[in-house]
Amino acid sequence: MSDDADPEDGQDGDGVPDSDPDHIDPAGDLADMVESGDMDMELADGQDPEELREFIKRAEAGEFGADPGLEATVRIARAMLENAEADGQDGPDT
């Protein structure tokens, strides 16, 4: 991390999120931005939130194997669902 780090913004002096400054992880950095609200992502029109819940459930059960990109995708999907629920855009629960 550089000397001009600002710990309050969670980034080093180069604007790189420091979720793990010793490891280059673009998917994880993207997930950090979505979770923090720095990047706004929403469910697409017609996207069924229940499909995302099912994906998250299957991924967490290990059906797709272990992969850092998959972990980041699950984090992004979870953040999108939370945003949709906060905005009252949640679809039908089954």
Domain boundaries, the chain: 26-31+47-86
C-alpha count within 13 angstroms, C-beta hemisphere, residue 66: 0
Alpha-helical regions (H) of the chain: 26-36, 49-60, 68-86
pTM of the model: 0.67
Q: Give me the pLDDT at residue 15, please.
A: 59
**C-alpha 33 chain-centroid distance:** 7
Q: Which of the 8 DSSP states describes residue 3?
A: T
**Contact assessment for residue 74 and residue 56, using Cβ atoms and an 8 Å cutoff:** yes
Q: Which of the 8 DSSP states describes residue 94?
A: -
Summarised one tens digit per residue, pLDDT across range 12-69 is 555 555 556 677 788 888 999 999 989 888 899 899 999 999 999 999 999 999 888 9
Residue 91 pLDDT class (50, 70, 90 cuts): very low
Q: Which residue has the higher pLDDT, 32 or 89?
A: 32
